[in-house]
Every structure is written in structure tokens, then in C-alpha cells.
Chain A
Amino acid sequence: MMMKTDRSGSNLSAPARSNGEGPKVLRAGFIPLVDASVLIAAAEFGFAAKEGLTLDLVKDVSWANVRDRLAFRQFDVAHMLSPMPVASMLGLGSNPSPTVTPFSLGRGGNAITLSTRLFERMREVGGISETAGALENAKALASVLEAMRERGEALPMFGVTYPFSSHNYEFRYWLAAGGIDPDRDVKLVVVPPPMTSDALAAGAIDGFCVGAPWNMVASERGVGRIVAAKQDIWPSAPEKVLAMRPEWAESHPETVSRLIVALDAAARWCDRAENHDALAEVLAGPRFIAAPVDIIRHVLSGAFNLDAKGNRRVIADYFTFHRGFANYPRPSHALWLYSQMIRWGQIEFSEQGLRSAAEAYRPDLYRAALGIGPTEPDVGIEGDRSGDRFMDGHVFDPSNMMDYVRDFAVRSSPAARSDRQDV
């Protein structure tokens, strides 16, 4: 089962030494989502034990808790939204405490789901087919919103998970690509992921962007229609990361290295389709996600039921846990997240901000542990390669941050509002 290139074997052969870094039991906070798979697999399938570590996984109920418990040392490490370390290094949020990531927990997993009622209106007003793409869907929604405005209907409410989340930025990216101003044309609210499907069914919200398995839970119940996946918006978009306090990383270098080696082996294992049954079985249990195992199995294979009517779509890399350096904490990604924070008015651009944002990602720790990394420079152009483009065709050049942000027709500065046409 293990591949030749597996590194965990070579690391295992190194003598286990006592290094005065304290007990090797690490308390790790996580939120029950499929994108915590690498962390869960490391604990449950022996990858942490191989490195002499015990991962004590603690399920939490909110990202704010995860952040605070990491900051106040109740957790050693945590499953976090990729924008959270960036926000904390920029001093954003209600309890900003220095947080870094040496390891990304993979790519993919998010999707945008709208209520079936709203999607029916998009088909009527926007004239789209059942199999329309993400951009067509966004444009159709823009037409529906225009019709709603004319008739004086209330703005639709859309749920995201956290102000500093990939979901917030991806939902906004998708809306804006269709010509919709997320701060003016719709109302964005925060809904805890396990409640999204119920909130949609009850009509409390009209759509949401969350991680797996909650999109498919809603579509299989027949209350929601998946209209875009993370891959449609930007395939390389950062998702969850393993977060830690920088001072803890400094004082526990050996533990950090071992943890990265364990997670790397777990990620490689998670990527292999033949392990998905075992992984799904564990994830579905009450200690973790507590959701139907068959839905989690479908999610892992990227085989989507877009709705309850039998429309299906297979997204080949819906989850990438390891391939193509999916775990490498690329500072360009931190800077892209910073660009979206600027775009939506969460912070102003500054040279210091540029440095702080990049410091949230620590490829040096990844390379020190694994001795490998991608050949491209850590900070470079994003979205210019075929197969990895942004849905609106923009290309991110981190050395030209403000031009990149200004180029978006829809963004939250007043200047942008005055020069754009209502759709």
C-alpha cells in the first residue's frame, strides 16, 4: 500500500531521541469537516504514532473557540481556516494572537449551494440549463436579483462560516464574477456549517458556501442545488491549514518536524482512493463529523448529486490531500488572501501588512521537516497556468497588489461602486 516515495519509513528509521520538548501528546482542536481528514487520519491510522506522537483530537463548535483555545494554550495545534493565521498576523478579529501554519491540510472541499426555489428562478429568469457552469449560474443569479429589486423583494440571505474564511472570499468572488455586489445586492450572514442544511430547508437563508459534506447533505435532501465548487472559482485556492503559535513552533522544533512528517504520510494515504472507505467510516462516526457514511464516501470521490432530481457531476480533484504539493504553505496564497481582505474592506493595504500576511505561512518549517518543496518561487504569479485559472480570468501578481485589487469591477471601495454599472 505504501509507495516507494513514502518518506515516513526513512524518518522512522531515525533513532527516536528524547529532546527535552516535553510530552509528545499534542492537543489538536478541529471542527467536524471532511477537510480535517489529514489530521484525523494521522491520529486514527497510526501516522502520528509512527513518529512517536499522540494526537489528542478535540472537537470544537466554532472557529472563534479554536482561535482562542490555541491562543490561550488549551490547544497545541489546530485545524484552521487558511485566512485565520493571516488575519491574526494582521491584527484582525476580536482576539488576534500570532498564529502561523507550516502545513496546509489540502485543497478543495467547498461548494456554493442555493435553495432549489432560487435556482428555479435562475432557470426561468436567466434561461440557464440544468448543467450550467459556475459563471453562467452567477450571471443568472444577477438577473434574478435585478428582477427581485424591481419587485421590491427582500434581499436574499446567504450563509458563510466566518468573516476570515475561504468560504467568505469564495462566495464573494463568485457573486462578484457574476456582477453582484455582495455587500449591497445580497446579505451575507454567518451560519455554523452543520446548521446550513436545516437553515436552507427552513427558509432562514437562501444559499450558503461551506465545506464538505454539508453541500451534498442539502442537495440530497432536495432543499439545495449546488451551483459552483471551489475548483470552479480557483482550483489552487487555499483551504484549511494546521495552525500553531509561532513561539510554540520555535520551542518545539523536533515535535513540529515529526508532526509534519506524520501529516505528510497521512495526507498521502488520504489521497489514495482505495483508502477512502476506511477514511469515510471513521469520519462519519460520532466522534468526528456524525454524518451519513455514504455521503462522505461520495464527497471524497467528488461524485456529486447536484440536486435530488438526479443531476450529477464528478469533480476529479474535489479533494486533493497531498498531490502536487497540496500541503505546501505557499506564501503567495497568504498574499492572495490578503488581497481579498483588502478587496472587501476588511483592511487597508500597507507594506507592513504585506510582510505580516506572508509571515503567517511558514514554508521553511515544511522544508526543514520534509527536505522537499515545489521548485517555483514561494511568492509568484497565481492563476496564469492552464487548469488553474480564476473563474473571471484575473491573474494575481503579488508584487502588484493594489493594481490587482483595483482591477476588480466589484469590490468594496466607494470608487468601485461609482464606476460600475448595475446589472
Chain B
Amino acid sequence: MPAPDLTILVIDENAIRASIIEEGLREAGHSKVTIIHEVQGVARIIETLKPDVIVIDIENPNRDMMEHLFQLTRTVSRPIAMFVDRSDTALIEAAMDAGVSAYVVDGLKKERVKAILDMAVSRFNAFSRLQRELAEAKSALEERKVIERAKGILMKMRGLSEEDAFALLRQTAMNEKKKMSDIAQSVVTAAGLLM
């Protein structure tokens, strides 16, 4: 990025995602980046920081407070508009989909802002993907755990080998057209009631 450096404020309640954005901005050569996780005291921060670009997650209910700030001209000396170029609707829609919004000082060159927003959008999306994969991995782990427990119960109560216990669970799941982890959960629940 050519000089002068843009001053960028990132407001994101999710600390991990905020640091991912921050890293992306630094990689792109931005050094004047400030991250805050809550909007308490944001008015003073904006006043002293005078950011050129504000990136904010749109699940943050405090966006309405930002709107209020921008109305008070004495708090924010320069007019701040959302998205520098309204004609680039694809980018704007991508941003909305990703869950990120931006406020940009009027008159800033659109290429400079576009690069920042593009980066924020791709990092927001990457973060959602990461979260989804994490959730899936977690639930897969949970499923394996419950199947292990059900297997143990069957082995103990019906004197089956580990192999046969597993086969019984799988066969029952197929017969009942259910997931094996659901059948395993029923076994665990039933055992809890019976013992």
C-alpha cells in the first residue's frame, strides 16, 4: 500500500476474528490499526484516533450507537459514509453476507478501501468456515464418545465382544433408519434409567 498510511479501526466483539482481521491488515502493509472488542467509550476513541476506515461486525447491536455518533457532528469532525462507492453493489452484498460493514471517510480513493473491504470479507468468511469446521469436528468427537460408551454398556450387559457390540449398534441404526450416534445415545439413556 502506498503512503500515507490509513488509520483503521476494527470493532468486533469476537476477539479471535478481530485478530484475524488485524493480521490481514498488517500483512497488507497497514500499520495504523486499532482493534476494540466493545463499543464502550468508542466515541472518545474515534475522536482521538480519527480513523479513515471503520470495520465493524454487523451482528453487533451497537451499530445503532455508531449511527448516533455520526449524527453528532461535534463528535466526529469529518463526514463518514458507509461504503465509498455505492456502484460496487457486488462488494457491498458480499460484505453484508459475510457479516461485516464499513464506515469510510468521504473522499477516500475507492481502490484503497476496496482492498481493505475485500480482505475483511474473505477473512470473515474464512472465520465462519473455521467455526463451522470446528463445530463439526466437535460434534463428530461427541458422537464417537457416545458410541464408545454404548459399546461398553452392551459388552457389559449382554456379554458381547467389542466387535459384536459395534455390529449390533450399526445394524439397529440401519433397521431404524437412524444415525448410529442416535441409537448409541438411546442405549446410554436407557442404561442410565435402568441401572
A94 engages B81 (CB within 8 Å): yes
| Closest CB in chain A relative to B76 CB, distance in Å | 11
Distance in angstroms between the alpha carbons of A339 and B101 in the assembled complex: 31
- Residue in A62, A95, A160, A192 with the greatest tally of chain B CB atoms within 10 Å: A62
- Residue of B with least CB distance to A183: B72
Size of the A side of the interface (Cβ < 8 Å), in residues, is 24
Distance in angstroms between the alpha carbons of A252 and B70 in the assembled complex: 34
Residue A131 is within 8 A (CB to CB) of chain B in the complex: no
A64 engages B67 (CB within 8 Å): yes
A163 engages B58 (CB within 8 Å): no
Distance in angstroms between the alpha carbons of A62 and B62 in the assembled complex: 7
A346 engages B60 (CB within 8 Å): no
Known: A68-B96, A72-B93. A94 touches B68 (CB 8 A): no
B67 engages A63 (CB within 8 Å): yes
Distance in angstroms between the alpha carbons of A346 and B81 in the assembled complex: 16
- Residue of A with least CB distance to B92: A72
Q: Pick the contact of B61 from A69, A72, A163, A192 — CB < 8 Å?
A: A192
Distance in angstroms between the alpha carbons of A135 and B144 in the assembled complex: 66
Interface residues of B in 36-95 (CB under 8 A from A): 58-68, 70-71, 80-83, 89, 92-93
Known: A162-B64, A162-B67. A68 touches B82 (CB 8 A): yes
Distance in angstroms between the alpha carbons of A161 and B59 in the assembled complex: 16
Residue A195 is within 8 A (CB to CB) of chain B in the complex: yes
- Residue of B with least CB distance to A344: B71
Distance in angstroms between the alpha carbons of A323 and B64 in the assembled complex: 32
B96 engages A189 (CB within 8 Å): no
Complex contacts, B58 vs chain A, CB 8 Å? 61-62, 65, 68
Residue B103 is within 8 A (CB to CB) of chain A in the complex: yes
Complex contacts, B71 vs chain A, CB 8 Å? 93, 163, 346
Distance in angstroms between the alpha carbons of A65 and B101 in the assembled complex: 9
Interface 0/1 of A362-392, CB less than 8 Å to B:
0000000000000000000000000000000
B93 engages A94 (CB within 8 Å): no
Distance in angstroms between the alpha carbons of A327 and B63 in the assembled complex: 29
Residue A132 is within 8 A (CB to CB) of chain B in the complex: no
Distance in angstroms between the alpha carbons of A68 and B83 in the assembled complex: 11
Distance in angstroms between the alpha carbons of A93 and B61 in the assembled complex: 17
Q: Pick the contact of B64 from A69, A190, A346 — CB < 8 Å?
A: A190
Interface residues of B in 92-119 (CB under 8 A from A): 92-93, 96-97, 101, 103
Complex contacts, A62 vs chain B, CB 8 Å? 58, 60-64
- Residue in B62, B66, B67 with the greatest tally of chain A CB atoms within 10 Å: B67
B96 engages A61 (CB within 8 Å): no
Residue A73 is within 8 A (CB to CB) of chain B in the complex: yes
Complex contacts, B66 vs chain A, CB 8 Å? 64, 94
B64 engages A93 (CB within 8 Å): no
A68 engages B61 (CB within 8 Å): no
Complex contacts, A61 vs chain B, CB 8 Å? 58-61, 63
- Residue in A95, A161, A189 with the greatest tally of chain B CB atoms within 10 Å: A95
| Closest CB in chain B relative to A98 CB, distance in Å | 12
27 contacts between A and B (CB under 8 A): A61-B59, A61-B61, A61-B63, A62-B58, A62-B60, A62-B62, A64-B63, A65-B63, A65-B101, A68-B58, A68-B82, A68-B96, A69-B96, A72-B93, A73-B93, A74-B97, A93-B71, A94-B67, A94-B80, A94-B82, A162-B68, A190-B64, A190-B67, A190-B68, A192-B61, A192-B62, A194-B61
Known interface pairs A65-B101, A72-B89, A160-B68; 6 further A-B residue pairs with C-beta atoms within 8 A, sorted by A's residue number:
A61-B59, A74-B93, A94-B82, A95-B82, A162-B68, A190-B68
Residues of A with Cβ closer than 8 Å to B? 61-65, 68-69, 72-74, 93-95, 160-163, 189-192, 194-195, 346
Residues of B with Cβ closer than 8 Å to A? 58-68, 70-71, 80-83, 89, 92-93, 96-97, 101, 103
Shortest 6 CB-CB contacts between residues of A and residues of B: A192-B61, A190-B68, A190-B65, A163-B71, A62-B63, A64-B63
